[in-house]
Amino acid sequence: MFGVMGATGHVGAAVADTLLSMGEDVTVMTRQPDRAGAWRDKGARVVAADAEDPASLAAAFRSADRAFLLNPPADPRGDTDAAERRTIASILSALDGSGLEKVVAASTYGAQPGEGLGDLSTLWQLEEGLRARPIPAAINRGAYYMTNWLGFTDAVRRTGILPSMFPADVEIPMVAPADLGRAAAERLLQPVQDEEILYVEGPARYTPRDVADAFAGALGRAVQVDVAPREQWPAIYRDAGFSPEAAAAYTRMTAISLDSGFDKPARPLRGATGLNAFMATVVSRDP
């Protein structure tokens, strides 16, 4: 039995769907089991589990043999670093005594020690916590999610302008969540000795200009990139509804990623979903 966290999101859903398509037994762990009828229809078992509640999560883990771990993103209206560190501590606590024979965890390119660095530091904490436990843990570091650009869809459709904090021609490793899910499912099926850190990205690396072109193809209109100066980043996050703490963390994460040239491993696992195909699938020409 495979337990899957985050099945109501893009990556977790892809993990569960991939395993079910292979004929595997899947338990979907969700805060709202009454809204998971679609998973039951697909043949999955559904259990109540909340990353804020270690007891419920521990009970869900005990019902599985192996599990996919995904730390849920915190509400940016609050202190995201503090909230995500709490849920990571909850996940790690729930693993103790769970009897799981293996876990696969979603992490991120650029994960590193530190404070207030957004996912870079919180997911490093998750990695370190897993390394300190006896359960074999395979870690998949995912590249920049292609879905991160989708929040601009309405603005791009309306104005023909794609806002970006990254220079138009900087090359960024990106990945479709479906490819991350498939990679995680495959590692769940591997022997317990499979414990290394692997990097997962799409078939190529892309620039914000490539993203604009992909939007243009999907929307059927010209799209240009509008690059925001660095000094405007905190205000942009605040205007988007981020708390002061979250805006500061996301600003630092963005700056570190850009200034380091992004994490670019020599031999990542490559997914099959290209940027143009992804946009064509998820972006409709009709508002």
**H or E element at residue 173:** strand 172-175
pLDDT given at position 35: 87
- Answer yes or no: is 248 within a domain: no
Residue 201 amino acid letter: E
What's the structural domain count of the chain? Answer: 1
Please state the separation of Cα 55 from the chain's center in Å.
24
- Answer yes or no: is 274 within a domain: no
For residues 201 and 270, the answer to whether their CB atoms sit within 8 Å is yes
pLDDT tens digits for range 129-161: 999 999 999 999 999 999 999 999 999 999 999
- Answer yes or no: is 106 within a domain: yes
Here the CATH number for the domain that contains residue 95 is: 3.40.50.720
* Average pLDDT for the chain: 96
Across 223-247, average pLDDT = 97
- Answer yes or no: is 156 within a domain: no
The model's confidence at residue 39, banded by pLDDT at 50, 70 and 90, is very high
- Boundaries of domain holding 112: 2-145+175-201
pLDDT given at position 285: 73
Distance CA 282, CA 271 (A): 17
Distance CA 140, CA 123 (A): 11
- Answer yes or no: is 162 within a domain: no
pLDDT tens digits for range 100-125: 999 999 999 999 999 999 999 999 99
- Answer yes or no: is 159 within a domain: no
Residue 199 amino acid letter: Y
